[in-house]
Amino acid sequence: MVLAVSMGKARAYGILVVLLASSLGGCAGGESGGSDSSTDGFEVPIWEIGDWWLYTFSTPDYSDDTARLVVASTSEEDGSAYMLAISSLTEARRHAVLNHNPFLGRMTHSELGAFENGVAQSVLSFPLEEGKTWSFTLFSVEWSAFVSDISGSSAVIIATSSDGARLDYVFDREAGFFYSFTWKDEMGVTNLRMMLSDSGSGHSGDVYFVRGGDLFSDVWEDPGNDIEIRDTFLVSDHSSDGEWDEMIYFIDADCGSGSSISLTLRDHMSISALERIWGPGASEMGTLGTIPYPSGEYTLTATFTGGSTFLRVRIAGGITQSWTL
């Protein structure tokens, strides 16, 4: 009888071991053979003050421009948006006058949506899931977007417009923002490319956002020998934030041998606000400067002599905000 009981117990234990092994095997199979986490939807990240991303921006007209974007505030728009600023006042001014980075200023908590003409635009639509589609407006263009692939920590998004322009961008879940963003026009020309170089948290120091508004922009390339060009523009207040703190100008100039350029900007009282002269063989690219407290009408006069000249002038109004982190 004792032997029979022992054999019965042994059989019971054996059955129990088999059942446990089957159960554990099923659990192990669920972890390794179940759905890959890389195909799961990406939820919207939660940014904290001091989070930062270092990007390089490239456009057809301007050389690479590197800027560190920093979360300056998490309580904009009655607590529903972040404020994304820049760690350098010079770079903040540059971005205001060139106006090539749409991902500055207010960004919504729910979608990391950028504001265009006062309206939040869902360039990203969370949760990001493979095959998901949506639409938005950016660069004053209507876009139809879809998530083409999700792999690892990356979600690849493609957006197209009715005229054949295209956006290609990658959201990096680990960085919590774009890994890359490229805008090509209908001819395939790259209007903007931004690439992530580094990211982190805990940035300290002063950060800036300059709310910009275009006031004047023109380009003259070999306009003729011994010619004077005159143009005027009016500086009025920002539509919602009042008077501009300053005008920000950005100048490219190039003279061939035997050529020269002079540039003058005067206010409505004929007081000179800006004067520049470039002689034969002179070249100056990417000059950035400011003129404080602009108002009223301004007259720009450009004089060209010789047959090989180039001048590009961009002027924007700027209102500066700053934070100390």
pLDDT tens-digit series, residues 239-280? 778 899 999 999 999 999 999 999 999 999 999 999 999 999
- From residue 191, alpha-carbon distances to 28, 57, 58, 212 in Å are 49, 10, 8, 20
Task: Quote the pLDDT of residue 225.
Answer: 85
Chain centroid, CA 267 distance in Å: 33
What residue spans in the chain does CATH classification 2.60.120.1540 cover? 212-319
Q: Is the pLDDT of residue 12 over 60?
A: no
∠ CA 172-211-289, nearest 5°, is 105
Decide which of 2.60.120.1540, 3.40.109.10, 3.40.710.10, 1.20.1740.10 is the CATH code for 212-319. 2.60.120.1540
Using a cut of 0.85, tell me whether the model's pTM lies above it: no
Q: 125 near 132, Cβ under 8 Å? A: yes
What residue spans in the chain does CATH classification 2.40.360 cover? 52-204
With bands split at pLDDT 50, 70 and 90, how would you rate the model's confidence at 39?
A: low
Task: Quote the pLDDT of residue 100.
Answer: 85
Q: Is the pLDDT of residue 2 over 70?
A: no
Dihedral (CA of 124, 127, 132, 135) sign? negative
Average pLDDT of the segment spanning 196-225: 95
Decide which of 2.60.200, 2.40.360, 2.40.30, 3.30.1460 is the CATH code for 52-204. 2.40.360
pLDDT tens-digit series, residues 179-189? 999 999 999 99
Q: Is the pLDDT of residue 92 over 50?
A: yes
Query: Between 5 and 192, where is the model more confident?
Result: 192
